[in-house]
Amino acid sequence: MTVGIGIIGCGMIAGFHSKAIADAEGARLVGCVDRRMDLATAFAEKNNIKAYETLDAMLADPEIDAVSICTPSGVHMDPAVAAAEAGKHVFVEKPLEITTERCDKIIAACEKSDVRLAVTFQSRFHESSQLVKKAIEEGRFGTITMGDAYVKWFRTQEYYDSGAWRGTWALDGGGALMNQAIHSVDLLVWLMGDVQEINAMTATATHERIEVEDVAVATLRFANGALGVIEATTTAFPGSLKRIEISGSKGTAIIEEEDIKMWQFAVETEKDEEIRRTMIGKTETGGGAADPSAIGHHGHTLLFEEFVAAINEKRAPMIDGHEGRRSVQVIEAIYESAKGAQIIALQ
């Protein structure tokens, strides 16, 4: 069936969701709602959809089968739980929420109401990510020894000043890690597996009037025995594409946004040279490195199509609530480690 979707929150990211829904097979954008009626009305007029005066009105509409939550990070839980309790499927822009406790409440509400829950980590759908994941599963890296994520981006002071919620613990949930680097944290954990221990430091180095970090460094010990590093900042002018490096005794792969910059294995296959040749130049945008709006919506389109398929097939989406929670748990532990200057063991 075609899934009717309502967008909750009409800020910048909602525009990417509306474009993705328009392109996604089996999805239809029905309406929107925002605490500011003027924003909802303008968004509705632009997309030729309904503007609801309240969330309750949206959830009462039988044309709405699912909601897409595009509110600030720290206010994902309440609309997600309300939607689940109304029997609507839930699609949430990253992060799922800003603490694992709040994530768990969303997950529990969706499971209780038997509705699907999906989280937007579109980097997993990039061809480069899929190729590295497959190589890991095939054992091509030998003993994996290191897994690293680098997000050296740049945000102006004006970026933080542009919204009262930006750079706050209550609504942003954190800084360079929770807002910007979480895609890379998710991708790293998806590729490497669970994290056992974290030791971290954070700082607010250059930005003013923010409560959260704009620089963070963490060392990790993974359950598979490998070690790793997460580096994240919004102070690195002019901003570089995010980078993932996987290293092992028999191979190394480096992803830069959607490109594969290095692909070398001790035992070559007939497809390796083709991968090296064709997986360069895949990144067509700035990747959000300096401009948060300089991203494409094609990854979101794939996520919405997978979400629709999960609804129709009555199964969990590929990136469900439990998967979406993993990166929040890691970042939460990084903050705890940095605050207490101690090594944190993850359960």
Q: What is the pLDDT along the chain (347 residues), one digit of tens a residue?
A: 999 999 999 999 999 999 999 999 999 999 999 999 999 999 999 999 999 999 999 999 999 999 999 999 999 999 999 999 999 999 999 999 999 999 999 999 999 999 999 999 999 999 999 999 999 999 999 999 999 999 999 999 999 999 889 999 999 999 999 999 999 999 999 999 999 999 999 999 999 999 999 999 999 999 999 999 999 999 999 999 999 999 999 999 999 999 999 999 999 999 999 999 999 988 877 777 877 766 778 899 999 999 999 999 999 999 999 999 999 999 999 999 999 999 999 97
The domain spanning residue 154 has which CATH number?
Answer: 3.30.360.10
268 by DSSP, 3-state: which? coil
Do 224 and 208 share a structural domain? Answer: yes
Do 272 and 129 share a structural domain? Answer: yes
Do 283 and 162 share a structural domain? Answer: yes
Q: What is the pLDDT of residue 290?
A: 73
Q: What is the pLDDT of residue 286?
A: 72
Do 263 and 303 share a structural domain? Answer: no
Residue closest to 213 by CA, chosen among 169, 182, 170, 171: 169
Do 284 and 135 share a structural domain? Answer: yes
Q: What is the pLDDT of residue 60?
A: 98
Do 244 and 172 share a structural domain? Answer: yes
Q: Please state, in angstroms and as integers, the Cα–Cα distance from residue 209 to each residue in 11, 159, 204, following that order.
A: 22, 11, 10
Could you list the residue range(s) of the whole structural domain that residue 280 is in?
Answer: 123-290+328-345
Q: What is the pLDDT of residue 293?
A: 65
The domain spanning residue 93 has which CATH number?
Answer: 3.40.50.720
Strands 89-92 and 66-69: parallel
Do 314 and 213 share a structural domain? Answer: no
Residues 6 or more apart in contact with residue 290 via CB below 8 angstroms: 153, 154, 155, 238, 239
Do 72 and 136 share a structural domain? Answer: no
DSSP 8-state secondary structure symbol assigned to residue 263: E
b/e string for 71-91 if b means 16 or more Cβ within 10 A? bbbbbbbebbbbbbebebbbb
Number of domains in the chain: 2
Do 276 and 217 share a structural domain? Answer: yes
Do 215 and 98 share a structural domain? Answer: no
Q: What is the pLDDT of residue 226?
A: 98
Do 102 and 10 share a structural domain? Answer: yes
Residues 6 or more apart in contact with residue 274 via CB below 8 angstroms: none
Q: What is the pLDDT of residue 266?
A: 98
Do 205 and 116 share a structural domain? Answer: no
